[in-house]
Amino acid sequence: MAISLPKGSYLFTSESVTEGHPDKVCDQVSDGILDAIYAKDPQARVAVETLASTGLVIVAGEVTTTCYIDVQDTIRKTIKEIGYSNPAYHFDFDSVAVLVAIHEQSPDIAQGVVKQSEEEQGAGDQGLMFGYATNETPEYMPLPITLAHKLAQRLAECRKKKIIPWLRPDGKSQVTIEYENGKAKRVHTVVIATQHDPEPSNEEINKRITEDVIKPVCEKWLDANTKIHINATGRFVLGGPAADTGVTGRKIIVDTYGGQGSHGGGCFSGKDPSKVDRSASYMARYIAKNLVAAGLADRCEVQLAYCIGVPDPVSVLVSCHGTNKVPEEKLVELVRKHFRLKPAHIIRDLNLRRPIYKKTAAYGHFGRNDPDFTWEATDKAAALKKDAGL
């Protein structure tokens, strides 16, 4: 049936997934290995990919480091922390087989990244990265992805605290927001898919998820016409990597802005910050958020692009979708003046050589209230506002 909306209204949808989703299991394993290495060797270069399926985890990639870590132990601890500790799930930390194929970074790549002067450290690859910010939420994030993340986090909380004792680790959320004249008006649709034990009835699942998950997160946005779909197929007992093979880097829109704003295509997890896929995306978010926090735009998208082995970005773009208070070319000047954009500077200014990455690998890399997420600070906003003459 066609959806009829008032003139000037539209719908926008974003999704999130829990930490037990198979792709997110892989992201956390990859970043868990990065963190374990960075705890001993912050100068290491790491690019690790993970695949998970029934009873099997495969880790492959390139690592150059002076330290030793127990990769198998790191993988099993990560899987256990996520919640796969029961053989009935057909995927658990104790019995899973682990295959590791890790070798050193190619010297052809390394020579472009490692320079005599740290200041001249080149980008680890070519590519384009985007950052986005909007003033529609206190987190400077779009409302659909913000609510979707909070629903996924609430599912995990209800499982871990046994508020809903029959929940299992895998799950997904999706939120559709109705916008009117560009402003969020209401939640149009909520979709929850959550793995569960075999015993509870569909009626119990619907009631508990509605009362204990959806309402605590979305209540101020719900109305009598909001549509709610919970486990729409009727059953979700088999889940996680046993039901759907997971791979690192398949949830890049969940990781970023839920489909609002652009995406350069590169994932973050398993990559140390010499890879601009990760570090430049964090810097682009930092820039966009500070420009919006300064009141220079209501919405802002920043693109940075790099060439492998070259320190300076090949391009810098600021786009505000018509919401900017000063010309966009002036905003680019402000960006180049107030933010250092060479990879070595990004790493230093955002303090990225620390084991902080595993917690970024579930529930989004942006919009998080955590002091380790340095790219979420708005410490440049006042200077930007003053320099812009506002």
Lowest-pLDDT range, 48-52, 293-297, 309-313? 309-313
pLDDT digits (tens, 9 = 90+) for 244-292: 999 999 999 999 999 999 999 999 999 999 999 999 999 999 999 999 9
Model pTM above 0.85: yes
Task: Tell me the per-residue pLDDT of 148-158, one tens digit each, with 9 for 90 and over.
Answer: 999 999 999 99
Tell me the pLDDT tens digit for each residue of 124-135.
789 999 999 999
The 10s digit of each residue's pLDDT in 46-90 is 999 999 999 999 999 999 999 999 999 999 999 999 999 999 999
pLDDT at 58: 98
> What average pLDDT does range 114-143 have in this prediction?
85
Backbone angles phi, psi at 210, to 5 degrees: -65, -50
For the chain, the helix, strand and coil percentages under 3-state DSSP, each to the nearest 5: 35, 25, 40
Q: What is the pLDDT of residue 390?
A: 81
Instruction: Encode pLDDT of 170-207 as tens digits.
Output: 999 999 999 999 999 999 999 999 999 999 999 999 99
Mean pLDDT for 91-113 is: 79
pLDDT > 90: percent of the chain: 91
Asked whether the predicted pLDDT for residue 226 surpasses 60, the reply is yes
Q: Is the dihedral of CA 287, 288, 293, 294 positive or negative?
A: positive
* pLDDT of res. 122: 80
CA separation for the pair 232, 170 (Å, rounded): 15
| pLDDT score for 114 | 58
How far is Cα 92 from Cα 76, in angstroms, rounded to an integer? 8
Taking the C-alpha atoms of residue 352 and residue 152, their distance in angstroms, rounded to an integer, is: 26
Q: What's the mean pLDDT when you consider all of the chain?
A: 94
Query: What's residue 107's pLDDT?
Result: 54
Q: How much is the pLDDT for 111?
A: 52
Residue 75 and residue 59 in contact, taking contact as beta carbons nearer than 8 Å = yes
Distance CA 139, CA 95 (A): 40
- pLDDT of 123: 85
What number is the average pLDDT over the span 10-27? 98
Question: Quick one: average pLDDT of 341-351?
Answer: 97
Closest to 208 in 3D by CA, of 164, 169, 148, 146: 164
Residue 116 pLDDT more than 60?
A: no
Q: Distance from CA of residue 42 to its chain's centroid?
A: 22
User: CB-side exposure of 180: number of CA atoms within 13 Å?
Assistant: 7
Please say if the pLDDT value at position 119 is more than 70. Answer: no
**Exposed (0-12), middle (13-18) or buried (19+): which is 355, by Cβ within 10 Å?**
middle
Mean pLDDT to the nearest integer, 331-337:
98
Q: Residue holding tokens 């959550």?
A: 194
